[in-house]
Amino acid sequence: MERDRPIRQQQSPADDERSYPLTPSPGSVKDTASLRDAGASSIHEGGVIDHAIAQTTTPTIATSPETSQQHSQQQQKDVQQRRQVVAIANERPLRDLLPYFAGESEGLEFLFDQCSADRPVKGVHYVTPRKTYRHKRSTSRVHRLEPLLPPLQIQQELIRNFFNYVFPVMPIVDAKAFLEAFEKNPNSVSPLLLWSMFFAAANFIDKDYLRANRLPPRKILKEQYYQHAKDIYDNQDEGDKIILIAAALSLSMWYVDLEDRDGSWYWIGTATSLCHTIGLHRSSNYASMPSCPFPARSRQLWRRLWWCCYQREAWLAAGFGRPMRIHIDDCDEAVPHPEEIFEEWREIAVQLQEKYLPPEILTLTEAWIVMLHLSIYLGDILTMHYRPRSRLPAPATLRQQDADIVSLRNKVPATSFATPPIVLIHMCHLEMNFNAVLITLYRPYLACSPHKLIDQESAGCRNECILKAKAAASDTTNVLNKLMSLDAISKSPSSFVAALMTSMQVLVFDIRNSSGLGKSYATHQLDLHMLVIGHLRKTYWTADLQHNLFIEVMKVLNGESSCQHQNDAGAAPVEKADRDDTAALEHNGPDLFNAEHNLAHASLDDFFGMFNPFMGLPSHDDLG
């Protein structure tokens, strides 16, 4: 049955050759400058220019008749050219225009300077017509049909979960535009964007709701939604790069195995690369173009998308122990302001706000801005202290970074017992992230052997770092107690597991280097962390991996060689409902169950074997 979705019209070759917006090339730079200088024109939110460019007047200058005639002809030519540019812009829909990043000044921009050095507005951002190469569909394989959307009530529940738990920490869509389109007709929304949002929201949907609506467990539901979104992405049916970036950010919550061929790291790399192609990492000059086809609301969304990429990149790099692919020195785009998002939410109809949006959105937005600045600090720490040739941070540098993070922590919005639970949940997650960043800052000193610290100041700094890291781990335990009292562990994002891991590393260090009551207290805290990780295994495969890893770590610390039941190390007890979910995994998703089984039950002996780089290699005598 045909979907009630607007069909994108294919551009004719004649359309592709139009000169507005001008594709970056030496011959088009001067015309682009003329367009930017077209001060008499204005533009609607929808991107259509209102009226033609008015003729400009110039002061009368005493010149010869021949010079005056040449000047008049040139002026008429310029005005005619500007009118032609605006007329073409009015004919082309906004969706057929896209930003383009021409590269830094040492590239194309240098060439353009040679062609038109006196253009009034310079910059590396341009506007180009959409010219997406359409791959021919292969006839040798069967393409999957676009999947049917779930029943409307399930879609609405998923979107409500997205805006309550995903959007406050990753505002990747224009909330007003999306909710109005979705409420009117879900089929009018981009299928790629919709399925990727369903996938991200499936992490938070209540298990009682799943059972009441005869839906599979979270992991099966996530795999289904992820596969639908990835099929659409692979078919290249979506040409809007903004939608592609938003979808890739949502799909970055997928991580099921160590190979990570299409997991979190892959999708954030995809989103970041797309951002670079249209220059979202750079402060653009679009606002200086009176006839810019991109409204302010769109440019604010672009800014959020870029900083969401940076935020996810920093936390994934910290969690995986990989180098940052985004360098803050390559970016000059400003951090979003809370008022931008709050203004967007204020324009949403009251009935839509009550149906889909969380309370106290301004508080949540302010918390996200704090999270962005915290992510920048995390990126700085990884870049400065975690590179192969990095030296141990100087005590003065470390203390200054510590003071900056503590100062930022004081900007976290205050809460009380009257604060809505969903806001408390997000504030708890933010506290967890602060503790994780502080531990990441202190960890180089924890990893350094005391006998290598020659001067007394560094030795004293190491003792200070140990105490502060243990305090941060204890504070994480307190946050876990708060979340458990709210029965909100199941509402934790995927990044929550990485934040837990940093705290668990410190607790293992404390168990290894303590004795008596201190060691017992650290063991008690680690057991609590393992209880939480065990609960998260029902939602995240990465929780399976971390759970099994620390099971093996505890065996090594306790000097155990025989396998024990995983509940002996603090795993969550298996309830009947969870056994039913496991049975559903085996029955409904054989491929998924195999991945689940491998991560949940396989021994990590091979993983520990990798600690010896020469294990398994033939000896010299064998080669003899």
The answer on pLDDT for 59 being more than 70 is no
The answer on pLDDT for 83 being more than 80 is no
> What is the DSSP code (8-state) at residue 573?
P
Query: What pLDDT is recorded for position 390?
Result: 86
CA 357 to chain centre: 20
Return the sign of the alpha-carbon dihedral for residues 125, 126, 128, 133. negative
Instruction: Calculate mean pLDDT across residues 521-538.
Output: 94
The answer on pLDDT for 608 being more than 50 is no
Instruction: Calculate mean pLDDT across residues 50-66.
Output: 41
The answer on pLDDT for 601 being more than 60 is no
Instruction: Indicate the range of 198-207, 371-380, 572-581 predicted with least confidence.
Output: 572-581
Instruction: Calculate mean pLDDT across residues 64-87.
Output: 56
In the structure, what pLDDT confidence band is assigned to residue 343 with cuts at 50, 70 and 90?
confident
Instruction: Please return the burial class of 437, using the count of CB atoms within 10 Å of its CB with bins 0-12, 13-18 and 19+.
Output: buried
Residues 254, 312: contact at Cβ < 8 Å? no
Give 121 or 412, the one with higher predicted confidence: 412
Q: What is the mean pLDDT of the chain?
A: 76
In the structure, what pLDDT confidence band is assigned to residue 274 with cuts at 50, 70 and 90?
very high
Among 189-193, 287-291, 550-554, 609-613, name the most confident range.
Answer: 189-193
3-state secondary structure 360-394: CHHHHHHHHHHHHHHHHHHHHHHHHHCCCCCCCCC
Give 330 or 36, the one with higher predicted confidence: 330
Residues 435, 479: contact at Cβ < 8 Å? yes
Give 182 or 60, the one with higher predicted confidence: 182
Instruction: Please return the burial class of 561, using the count of CB atoms within 10 Å of its CB with bins 0-12, 13-18 and 19+.
Output: exposed
In the structure, what pLDDT confidence band is assigned to residue 594 with cuts at 50, 70 and 90?
very low
In the structure, what pLDDT confidence band is assigned to residue 359 with cuts at 50, 70 and 90?
confident
Among 44-48, 142-146, 453-457, name the most confident range.
Answer: 453-457
In the structure, what pLDDT confidence band is assigned to residue 586 with cuts at 50, 70 and 90?
very low
Between CA 129 and CA 135, with CA 131 as vertex, the angle to 5 degrees is 165
In the structure, what pLDDT confidence band is assigned to residue 94 with cuts at 50, 70 and 90?
low
Instruction: Indicate the range of 4-18, 325-339, 484-498, 551-565 predicted with least confidence.
Output: 4-18
Q: What are phi and psi of 562, to 5 degrees?
A: -90, 150
Query: What pLDDT is recorded for position 590?
Result: 35
The answer on pLDDT for 320 being more than 50 is yes
Instruction: Calculate mean pLDDT across residues 332-355.
Output: 90
Query: What pLDDT is recorded for position 123?
Result: 60
Q: What is the pLDDT of residues 129-154, one digit of tens each?
A: 665 555 455 444 444 556 789 999 99
Left, alpha or beta for 534 (phi > 0: left; psi -120 to 50: alpha)? Answer: alpha
Amino acid at 134: R
The answer on pLDDT for 364 being more than 70 is yes
Per DSSP, the three-state class of 618 is coil
Closest CA to 243 of 316, 186, 294, 174: 174
Instruction: Indicate the range of 195-209, 301-315, 589-603 predicted with least confidence.
Output: 589-603
d(C-alpha 307, C-alpha 604), whole Å: 36
Neighbours of 583 (CB within 10 A): 12
Q: What is the pLDDT of residues 230-254, one digit of tens each?
A: 999 999 888 899 999 999 999 999 9
Per DSSP, the three-state class of 122 is coil
Query: What pLDDT is recorded for position 112?
Result: 65
Residues 172, 249: contact at Cβ < 8 Å? yes
Give 419 or 561, the one with higher predicted confidence: 419
- Does the N-terminal peptide bond of residue 358 adopt cis geometry, omega within 30 degrees of 0? no
The answer on pLDDT for 182 being more than 70 is yes
d(C-alpha 445, C-alpha 393), whole Å: 8
Instruction: Calculate mean pLDDT across residues 275-279.
Output: 91
Token couple for 253? 């919550």
Instruction: Indicate the range of 3-7, 312-316, 613-617 predicted with least confidence.
Output: 3-7
Instruction: Calculate mean pLDDT across residues 403-408.
Output: 96
DSSP for 42-97 reads: -B-TTS-B-SPPPPP--------HHHHHHHHHHHHHHHHHHHHHHHHHHHS-GGGE
d(C-alpha 301, C-alpha 421), whole Å: 28
Q: What is the pTM of this model?
A: 0.76
Query: What pLDDT is recorded for position 316?
Result: 94
Query: What pLDDT is recorded for position 289?
Result: 65
In the structure, what pLDDT confidence band is assigned to residue 369 with cuts at 50, 70 and 90?
very high
Residues 498, 536: contact at Cβ < 8 Å? no
Query: What pLDDT is recorded for position 7?
Result: 34
